Amino acid sequence: MHTLALVLYAVFFGAAFGWRTWLQWHRTGDTGLRMHADLGTLQWWAKLGFVAALVAGVVAPVAGLAGLSPVPLLDVGWLRLVGAGVAALGILATVGAQWQMGEAWRIGVDPVERTVLVTAGVFARIRNPIFTAMVIAASGFTLLVANWVAVVGLIALVSALEVQVRAVEEPYLARIHGATYDSYAAGAGRFLPGIGRIRTG
């Protein structure tokens, strides 16, 4: 199962980051990567947590192969099979949501850049479907690997995404798009349909 987790993770990383970055550059001449964050800011902490989660995605199955014991509660054969399916579903959902963003796709935020506000497709119901899909994939990896490194990685990912969305991206989008974003955020959920809608006024 740990070898399968490594294979799935390689597919996830290659598709969601490698291939998507190349595609963005091929289409626009811009990689879409906005990695700068001032030291100590919430954006910096969010990026740190995200990187920690990515590293845990590799370390967890490698540690399992090296003999790290699984978390007893998660050490169930059928649960690991479910995890493999959930991880695969999350990978497909991540790539699909990225595709729907088109040329507006970015990793990170440039505070002076004006991007297109994507509100069609799955974005009509969920404001951050890529992040939702990533958490689904990470949850699957956690069930598949079933050790404490994977659990910590999942917690780091969820925490990082919460900070990134609430403290960085939502204020940025509200400032750039104004009433258009306010109206959109009032109808579409943050990570799930109908949940986390922002009411203004």
Range of the domain at 51: 2-108+134-187
Count how many Cα atoms sit within 13 Å of the Cα of residue 47 in the half-sphere of its side chain.
17
Domain for residue 68, yes or no?
A: yes
Task: Read off the pLDDT band of 201 (50, 70, 90).
Answer: low
58-97 per-position pLDDT tens digit: 999 999 999 999 999 999 999 999 999 999 999 999 999 9
3-state secondary structure of 197: coil
C-beta atoms surrounding 178 within 10 Å: 10
Domain for residue 92, yes or no?
A: yes
Domain for residue 114, yes or no?
A: no
Domain for residue 120, yes or no?
A: no
Domain for residue 54, yes or no?
A: yes
Percentage of the residues of the chain whose pLDDT score is greater than 90 = 96
Task: Write down the H helix ranges in the chain.
Answer: 2-13, 20-28, 42-65, 77-101, 129-145, 148-163, 170-177, 179-187
pLDDT at residue number 31: 96
User: How many domains, in total, are found in the chain?
Assistant: 1
Distance CA 8, CA 88 (A): 7
Domain for residue 165, yes or no?
A: yes
Domain for residue 124, yes or no?
A: no
Domain for residue 201, yes or no?
A: no
